Amino acid sequence: MKETKILNGTKAIEEGARLILSGELVVFPTETVYGLGADAFNEKAVGDIFKAKGRPQDNPLIVHISSIDQVKDVAKDVPDAFYTIAEKFMPGPISVVLKKGDKVPYGVTAGGETVAVRMPENKVARALISASTPLAAPSANKSKHVSPTTAEHVYDDLKGEVALIIDDGPCKVGIESTVLDLTTDIPTVLRPGAVTVEMLGEVLGEVVASGKVIKIAKSPGMKYTHYAPKVKTVVAVSPQHAVEEYDKCVREGGNPILVYRNIYKDVTGDRRIIDLGVSPEDYARRIYSALREGEQIADEIIIEELHGGGIEYSVMNRVYKSAGDKLV
């Protein structure tokens, strides 16, 4: 049994990188769920992941990278579709299955010739990878248990099995990444996630999901900028991110506004806000007028992101375009 430390901040990243490079397991945060990481090129360390989790050997691991360029270190014959997906959704909650690179041990891929590659959005995760090496990592739970979205969840499952848990608070997405296979004739969604089938269809034209081919015609309007206010507009992936962006803008002499629902008043405090109400329906109803108002009275608009399906998905389709896909 190891002593399991829980740390956060820069020291945790430095310590984590050191441990990874010496062949240890380190739990790190991502925006989806916490991951149980090992040096993806170290066969023994990768084997230890399976032991710590009690995971069946035939279930392959995702390799996490910190820059798009790094894909070349872990995969080969990378198709153009990968870069299309990367431009739209990376860093973010999507893993893409590609041809395995020669340096990746078969322990990672469960003996297969393909490898799943993911660039997490979480900055701590990327800092850890940058400071060490690509990380093979499954969710940091005991096999078959619920995926962990806080450091405490991880500790409950894996105390004594890992040297370090890097704590970055609760995960923002909360469900595991979308897994998209690009080694099939038509791109195939193996696991749905926050990057939805519809989103992938819009970008790729057609995808297979749940065994069905789903074709999503690109409407002619797609190539134009839509719904764009005349001032800088960004979508905040969380109220905390919104507040950080707002405060940064003020420090730089700007005049920002939050376009937000009032249910986050405890986070947004007395910062300037255009109130989108409470429900997603309120939000949808008010968003266009809020954007028009915002461009009159501010030089940066920071919009709340909705994360659900249905109306939330539909309204975000517009809002992302308003922001030219700029996320903070």
**190 contact choice in ligand TXA, Mg ion, none (CB below 5 to 8 Å, kind-dependent):** ligand TXA
Kindly state whether residue 62 participates in binding ligand TXA, applying the rule CB under 6 A.
yes
**Which residue lies nearer to Mg ion by CB, 173 or 259?**
173
Nearest approach, Cβ of residue 273 and ligand TXA (Å): 32
Q: Which of residues 286-305 bind ligand TXA (CB under 6 A)?
A: none
Q: How far apart are the first and last CA of the chain?
A: 40
Nearest approach, Cβ of residue 189 and ligand TXA (Å): 11
Q: Which of residues 123-142 bind Mg ion (CB under 5 A)?
A: 139
Among 42, 109, 122, 188, binds ligand TXA (CB under 6 A): 109
Read off the amino acid at residue 159: K
Among 138, 148, 256, 280, binds ligand TXA (CB under 6 A): 138
Q: Which DSSP string do the residues of 249-286 spell out, in sequence order?
A: HHHTT--EEEEE-GGGHHHHTTS-EEE--SSHHHHHHH
Kindly state whether residue 95 participates in binding ligand TXA, applying the rule CB under 6 A.
yes
Here the tokens at position 243 are: 């507040």
**Which residue lies nearer to Mg ion by CB, 73 or 157?**
157
Answer whether 22's CB lies under 8 Å from 38's CB: no
Here the tokens at position 84 are: 């299309």
Kindly state whether residue 121 participates in binding ligand TXA, applying the rule CB under 6 A.
no
Nearest approach, Cβ of residue 30 and Mg ion (Å): 12
Measured CA to CA, the distance from residue 99 to residue 78 in angstroms comes to: 7
Nearest approach, Cβ of residue 122 and ligand TXA (Å): 9
DSSP E strands, the chain: 5-7, 26-28, 35-39, 62-64, 75-76, 94-100, 114-118, 135-137, 164-166, 178-181, 188-191, 206-209, 212-215, 232-236, 256-260, 273-275, 300-304
**Which residue lies nearer to Mg ion by CB, 92 or 138?**
138
- Closest residue to Mg ion, judged by C-beta, is 139
Name the nearest CA neighbour of 125 among 216, 183, 62.
62
The helix or strand, by DSSP H or E, that contains position 292, with its residue range, turns out to be helix 280-297
Show the site string, 21-60: x = touches ligand TXA by CB under 6 A, - = not. Answer: ---------x-xx-x-----------------------xx
Query: Can you list the alpha helix ranges (DSSP code H) found in 75-117?
Result: 80-89, 106-109
**60 contact choice in ligand TXA, Mg ion, none (CB below 5 to 8 Å, kind-dependent):** ligand TXA
Among 70, 122, 149, 177, binds ligand TXA (CB under 6 A): 177
Kindly state whether residue 61 participates in binding ligand TXA, applying the rule CB under 6 A.
yes
Count residues near Mg ion (CB under 5 A).
1
Answer whether 171's CB lies under 8 Å from 240's CB: no
Kindly state whether residue 190 participates in binding ligand TXA, applying the rule CB under 6 A.
yes
Nearest approach, Cβ of residue 96 and ligand TXA (Å): 10
Nearest approach, Cβ of residue 150 and ligand TXA (Å): 14
Among 66, 75, 118, 121, binds ligand TXA (CB under 6 A): 118
Measured CA to CA, the distance from residue 130 to residue 227 in angstroms comes to: 36
Q: What share of the chain is helix, strand, coil (3-state, %, to 5)?
A: 40, 20, 40
Measured CA to CA, the distance from residue 290 to residue 277 in angstroms comes to: 11
Answer whether 128's CB lies under 8 Å from 166's CB: yes
Q: Which residues bind Mg ion (CB under 5 A)?
A: 139
Q: Which residues bind ligand TXA (CB under 6 A)?
A: 30, 32-33, 35, 59-62, 95, 97, 109, 112, 114-116, 118, 137-139, 176-177, 179, 190-191
